[in-house]
């Protein structure tokens, strides 16, 4: 595995590339990232995008190192972490938490909002949504070898991405988490870390960024 920091400086783009970026935004950046990993039909990487002044920065976890690029500035390093049970890590995660209802997938936080509105008035909707988001991540931990020591919901956004063909609109939501976790099962934790969390992993969700935390 490789962890890369990839920067796209808008000042270095050609006029046609700038037009593509303005017209299709996230989707064209998604396509450009795919071009860094040629040779396969299936996605072999996770990424997270951050906006800078005059640039976009991507953190990318991939099976193979990214190819050289004329539009991206790429810094990469091998990623082969060793985890032990009881290890404390600080984390940052952008995920698309969903819930299955009547055989269909729904936005977890929108569903939480509907539940609050149907039950009582005067309830703090955002607080209820935050709790639903935290409960979802706690369940991910139970399934994937970690427990939450501290968790914050930093942002909740509605995302809209326009596909190139047929101008199809892709809509989903994303939640930004940060906090502290404790690794319980190193094998399960590493497996999910490399696969990603939740849905919309092809569009910048699912990558958990980690760094050493304080001892529990």
How do residues 15-37 score in pLDDT, each as one tens digit? Answer: 878 877 777 777 888 888 888 98
Is 145 contained in some domain? yes
Note whether 191 and 140 are same-domain residues: yes
Q: Give the pLDDT band (50/70/90) at residue 122.
A: low
16: CATH: 3.30.70.1200
Note whether 71 and 94 are same-domain residues: no
Residues 6+ apart with CB under 8 A from 68: 74
Count of domains observed in the chain: 2
* pLDDT value of residue 28: 81
Is 116 contained in some domain? yes
4 pLDDT higher than 90:
yes
* pLDDT value of residue 87: 95
**pTM assigned to the model:** 0.85
pLDDT > 70: percent of the chain: 92
Is 83 contained in some domain? no
Note whether 73 and 115 are same-domain residues: no
CB 183 within 8 A of CB 146: yes
Residues 6+ apart with CB under 8 A from 186: 82, 83, 84, 85, 87, 145
Mean pLDDT of 52-57: 88
pLDDT tens-digit readout, 96-118: 998 877 777 777 888 888 877 76
Q: Can you give the residue range of the structural domain that contains 104?
A: 88-212
121 or 64, which is more confident?
A: 64
Q: Give the pLDDT band (50/70/90) at residue 177.
A: very high
* pLDDT value of residue 142: 95
């Amino acid at each position: 595995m490789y962890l890369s920091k990839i920067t796209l400086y808008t000042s270095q783009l050609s006029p046609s590339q700038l037009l593509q970026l303005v017209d299709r935004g996230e989707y064209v950046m998604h396509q450009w990232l795919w071009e860094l990993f040629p040779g396969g039909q299936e996605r072999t990487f996770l990424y997270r995008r951050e906006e800078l002044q005059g640039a976009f920065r991507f953190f990318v976890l991939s099976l193979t190192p990214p190819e050289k690029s004329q539009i991206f500035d790429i810094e990469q390093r091998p990623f082969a972490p060793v985890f032990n049970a009881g290890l404390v890590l600080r984390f940052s995660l952008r995920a698309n938490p969903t819930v299955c209802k009547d055989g269909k997938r729904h936005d977890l936080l929108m569903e939480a909002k509907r539940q609050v509105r149907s039950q009582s008035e005067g309830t703090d909707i955002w607080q209820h949504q935050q709790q639903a988001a935290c409960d979802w991540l706690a369940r991910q931990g139970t399934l994937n070898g970690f427990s939450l020591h501290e968790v914050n919901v930093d942002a909740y956004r509605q995302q809209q991405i326009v596909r190139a063909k047929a101008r199809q609109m892709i809509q989903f939501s994303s939640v930004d988490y940060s906090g502290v976790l404790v690794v319980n099962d190193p094998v399960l934790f590493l497996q999910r870390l490399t696969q990603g969390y939740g849905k919309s992993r092809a569009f910048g969700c699912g990558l958990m960024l980690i760094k050493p935390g304080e001892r529990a």
